[in-house]
Amino acid sequence: MNIIIGTFVIGAAAVLLWLKLPNGEWRLASYLASIDTFLFTAPRVLIALLGAGFFAELLPENEVRQLLGEEAGIAAVLLAVVLGPLTPGGAFVSFAIAAAALKTGASPVAAIAYVTSWSLFSTTKIFAYELSFMGRRATLLRILVSLPVPFVISGLSYAW
Amino acid sequence: MPSLKNTEADPPPIRKKRQIIDGSLLVLSAFTALAGIAVFLSSGAGRALEIVADTFTFLAVLSPKIAAGIFIAATLPLMLPKEHVGRLIGRESGLRGLLIAAFCGAAIPGGPMMTFPIAAGLGVAGADLGAMIAFISGWSLLGLNRTLIWEFSFLPADLVWTRYLLSLPVPILLGLAVRTFLQVRK
């Protein structure tokens, strides 16, 4: 159901954007950019989803439940926050891993902590892009002020 | 949408080609190959093939969404008015500037290879560090393209809503925190 709603929203946005393209030259540039983006994205998505599928099969259910389940409490959140930044690859990898962990017994609060921590502190993003474009001072300052966020968000989601 | 470029008169900007095979793809491939081998060894070839088939089915279901998302991610940046944005979220822009920055971050599709150059460009165009961090955090926590295409496809809807709504004020709070921090240090 989510997939259908999302497909409609994204599809409508794409059509609107296409209608904004003023002439043939712009449409051609947009198609070329789309092909370029597709060639970049497609292998990553395919390999990441395959990897996530294999990974989910390998996750040891008992350990996941023990380390990341409801019972583990704060320790689960801490572990999730540490694991987030270490996740390689793009958004689909972290969401797929969170989904696999949920299925094998991780608590929703831990999943939220993991996704939030990945969003803010993904080491791939920081080392490959942020440091080189934003510089060390801006990057450090951002990380510093953002440090409490995964804990606050997962704490609030627990209370929710 | 008056905020888009007056595209009728201008030619489209030229895009730099991206390297398709890079370090992160190689790491991801190695990780997937190892996991695949581990599944093959522990559960047999049948189970490994089943997972491959499931993955392709899932991809087929996702493909219209991915196609539309790729089109948006590739086209919107061509039309973004960078100079205009810089004026809107400059140093003196106050809370309104942070709001606009966070919103722009959430609305911008595409990965880090796009967001960080834009953020740096905003700085050159006059945005302050608070606004730049609100922009980056808006993209990190609230990116619409990512949430609509990927997050809702994988995770339960109530979990996604909870995370999203709780994260809503965060980019603005982070921007304020940075501004306060820099003010105190002065």
The H or E element containing residue B156 is none
Rounded Cα distance, A94 and A34, in Å: 24
Nearest CB to A30 within list B78, B150, B181: B78
Q: Taking 80 as the threshold, does the pLDDT of residue B80 lie above it?
A: no
Write the pLDDT tens digit of every residue in A18-50: 998 888 899 999 999 899 888 888 888 888 888
Q: Is B41 on the interface with A (CB under 8 A)?
A: no
Q: Is B106 on the interface with A (CB under 8 A)?
A: no
Is residue B13 one of the residues assigned to a domain? no
Q: In this structure, which amino acid lies at residue A25? A: E
Give the pLDDT of residue A119. Answer: 95
Interface probe with B: pick from A54, A81, A125, A139, most Cβ of B within 10 Å: A54
Given pLDDT bands bounded at 50, 70 and 90, which one contains residue B92? low
Judge if B113 and B53 occupy the same domain.
no
* pTM, full prediction: 0.80
CB distance B167–A160 less than 8 Å?
A: no
Percent share of chain A, pLDDT over 90: 37
Whether B75 and A15 have beta carbons less than 8 Å apart is answered as: no
Q: Which of A25-29, A69-73, B32-36 has the lowest mean pLDDT?
A: A69-73
Token output for B29 = 């491939």
Is residue B114 one of the residues assigned to a domain? yes
Given pLDDT bands bounded at 50, 70 and 90, which one contains residue B12? confident
CB distance A3–B36 less than 8 Å?
A: no
Rounded Cα distance, B107 and B143, in Å: 6
Judge if B89 and B161 occupy the same domain.
yes
CB distance A116–B141 less than 8 Å?
A: yes
Give the pLDDT of residue B3. Answer: 46
* Whole-complex ipTM: 0.81
Looking at residues A61-76, what average pLDDT do you find? 86
Is residue B8 one of the residues assigned to a domain? no
Is residue B11 one of the residues assigned to a domain? no
Give B127's strand partners: B90
**Which chain B residues are closer than 8 Å to A141 by Cβ?**
129, 133, 178, 181
Q: Taking 70 as the threshold, does the pLDDT of residue A17 lie above it?
A: yes
What number of CA atoms fall less than 13 Å from residue A96's CA on the CB side? 23
Give the pLDDT of residue B1. Answer: 37
Judge if B105 and B166 occupy the same domain.
yes
Q: Is B137 on the interface with A (CB under 8 A)?
A: yes
Give the pLDDT of residue B150. Answer: 85
State phi, psi for B2 to the nearest 5 degrees: -70, -15
Judge if B86 and B41 occupy the same domain.
no
* Count of domains forming chain B: 2
In chain A, what are the domain boundaries? 1-41, 59-159
Token output for A105 = 């017994």
CB distance B162–A160 less than 8 Å?
A: yes
Looking at residues A135-158, what average pLDDT do you find? 95
* Among B155, B122, B126, B154, residue whose Cα is nearest residue B138: B122
Judge if B91 and B161 occupy the same domain.
yes
Q: Is A99 on the interface with B (CB under 8 A)?
A: yes
Write the DSSP string, B73-90: HHHHHHH--HHHHHHHTB
Give the pLDDT of residue A121. Answer: 95
Nearest CB to B162 within list A40, A91, A112: A112
Judge if B137 and B179 occupy the same domain.
yes
Q: Is A148 on the interface with B (CB under 8 A)?
A: no
Rounded alpha-carbon distances, angstroms, from residue B12 to B74, B75, B111: 12, 10, 21
Q: Taking 60 as the threshold, does the pLDDT of residue A128 lie above it?
A: yes
Give the pLDDT of residue A72. Answer: 85
CB distance B153–A2 less than 8 Å?
A: yes
Token output for A153 = 């968000």
Write the pLDDT tens digit of every residue in A77-122: 999 999 999 887 678 788 988 998 898 889 999 999 999 999 999 9
**Which chain B residues are closer than 8 Å to A40 by Cβ?**
18, 20
DSSP state of B129: H
Looking at residues B119-129, what average pLDDT do you find? 81
Judge if B54 and B91 occupy the same domain.
no
Judge if B109 and B53 occupy the same domain.
no
Contacts of B49 (CB under 8 A, 6+ apart): none
Q: Is B117 on the interface with A (CB under 8 A)?
A: yes
Give the pLDDT of residue B2. Answer: 41
Rounded Cα distance, A56 and A97, in Å: 7
Range of the domain at B129: 80-185
Judge if B170 and B89 occupy the same domain.
yes
CB distance B71–A108 less than 8 Å?
A: no
The angle at the Cα of B136, spanning A146 to A49, to the nearest 5 degrees, equals 95
State phi, psi for B150 to the nearest 5 degrees: -100, -50
Judge if B135 and B173 occupy the same domain.
yes
The chain-wide mean pLDDT, for chain B, equals 84
Rounded Cα distance, A10 and A17, in Å: 11
Judge if B40 and B105 occupy the same domain.
no
Q: Taking 90 as the threshold, does the pLDDT of residue A142 lie above it?
A: yes
Q: Is A49 exposed, middle or buried (0-12, 13-18, 19+ CB in 10 A)?
A: buried
Rounded Cα distance, B107 and B102, in Å: 9
